[in-house]
Amino acid sequence: MTRGELSPAGTAALFQFLRDGRPRTRAELSAETGLARSTVAERIDTLLSSGLLKFSDKANSTGGRPPTTVAFNPAARVVLAADIGATHAKLAVTDLAGDVLVEEDKVLDIANGPEIVLREVCDRGRALLTQAGRDERDLLGVGIGLPGPVEHLSGKPANPPIMPGWDGFDVPAFVRGELGAVTLVDNDVNIMALGEYRAHWAEHEHMVFVKVATGIGSGLISYGRLHRGSQGAAGDMGHVRVPHDTDVRCRCGNVGCLEAVASGAAIAAKLTEAGVPATSSADVVTLARNGSVPALQYVRQAGRDIGEVLATAVSLFNPSVLAVGGALSLAGEHLIAGVREAVYQRSLPLATQNLRIVPLHSGDEAGVSGAAFMVIDHALAAGQVESLLTQ
């Protein structure tokens, strides 16, 4: 047996075979990996000692004592996930399979600044850990979603429009100083896309998620992984120019942006101008659900406008699933019907023949679920597991 066969790197590679949760015997792992049984046995002992594996049920015997099986142990560590919005946050502690153990909704004002908000998130996170019967030593990591652009590699917000005082703030360093755990940060739309994908569409390789609320953004899943682009700005479709309403001023300083025409805030402004008072996406949803004809017409048109932009994305990216969520999606079928109408009209049949345009299935759990999987996928990758095995 070589030194390399017993190294943490070799053991971490074997662990990747077991992350699917299916119990296996040592003989099965030897056959799958091509490794000698003695090598497999040594690596399994290391993983059992680390807690990442556990003994499972006995396998069927072909004669004699049934062989023992081992499987991934989701309870080995926990993850703290936080989906932070403009005025509230959802926090959860999950196991390593992404299953929520405990969760909490908390009123938070993002405008209070990063230190106040993040300290509150950490304090509530400690309380949730205690509630789950765990402590900070059990933390594999912390995943955070923020309501603004984030440079993913550094975890720092980048000129976020509704987050005063957050620009360039080192969120990972602050949280790591509080909780002593690896911290990953992304924008809220990306973590929602990841959470929705892993919960409901993992059999598909390519997906687009669109969030329509006060603003409009999208998250792209390519080959089962988030596609962030070179600076983490991929999916910022809210500032794509639409072919009409080109004189409408957007908060970014440009004119004719999709967000300035079809977001919840834009529809609320149009309704108010039409003599139907509305100030937010929630007002628009209430009016639409109560049958307001102007509200329903504006929501349907917003769906068409969003669909025109998405038709380009469908032609360029060719996803098999296009999921629509966010506050405005709660207005009913009119938004998604408008999206379908434009996408199917504007995209080529080859790009849409297997395309499913669906509402978000995960609801308000999508964000914390995606934040948890962001950490799990990072920390349990082969290169990162090595550090867990040498602690």
Give per-residue pLDDT as tens, 216-247.
999 999 999 999 998 888 999 999 999 876 78
| C-alpha–C-alpha distance, residues 155 and 165, integer Å | 15
Mean pLDDT by 10 residues, the chain (391 residues): 52 89 90 90 92 78 67 96 94 97 95 97 98 96 95 93 94 97 97 97 97 94 94 90 83 90 95 95 96 97 96 95 96 95 94 96 95 96 82 67
Q: What is the pLDDT of residue 188?
A: 95
Q: What is the pLDDT of residue 12?
A: 87
Q: What is the pLDDT of residue 6?
A: 45
Q: What is the pLDDT of residue 390?
A: 74
- What's 64-114 look like in SS3? CCCCEEEEECCCCCEEEEEEECCCEEEEEEECCCCCEEEEEEEECCHHHCH
| C-alpha–C-alpha distance, residues 350 and 354, integer Å | 8
On whether the pTM is more than 0.85, the answer is: yes
| C-alpha–C-alpha distance, residues 14 and 36, integer Å | 12
State which amino acid sits at residue 256.
G
Distance of CA 149 to the CA centre of its chain: 14
Contact 107, 121 (CB under 8 A): no
Q: What is the pLDDT of residue 386?
A: 80
| C-alpha–C-alpha distance, residues 142 and 12, integer Å | 21
Integer CA distances (angstroms), 206 to 98, 226, 363, in order: 21, 10, 20
Q: What is the DSSP letter of 209?
A: E
DSSP notation for 278-338: --SHHHHHHHHHTT-HHHHHHHHHHHHHHHHHHHHHHHHH--SEEEEESGGGGG-HHHHHH
* pLDDT above 90 as % of the chain: 79
**pLDDT tens for residues 90-127?**
999 999 999 999 999 999 999 999 999 999 999 999 99
Q: What are phi and psi of 126, to 5 degrees?
A: -60, -40
How many other C-beta atoms lie within 10 A of the C-beta of residue 224?
Answer: 16
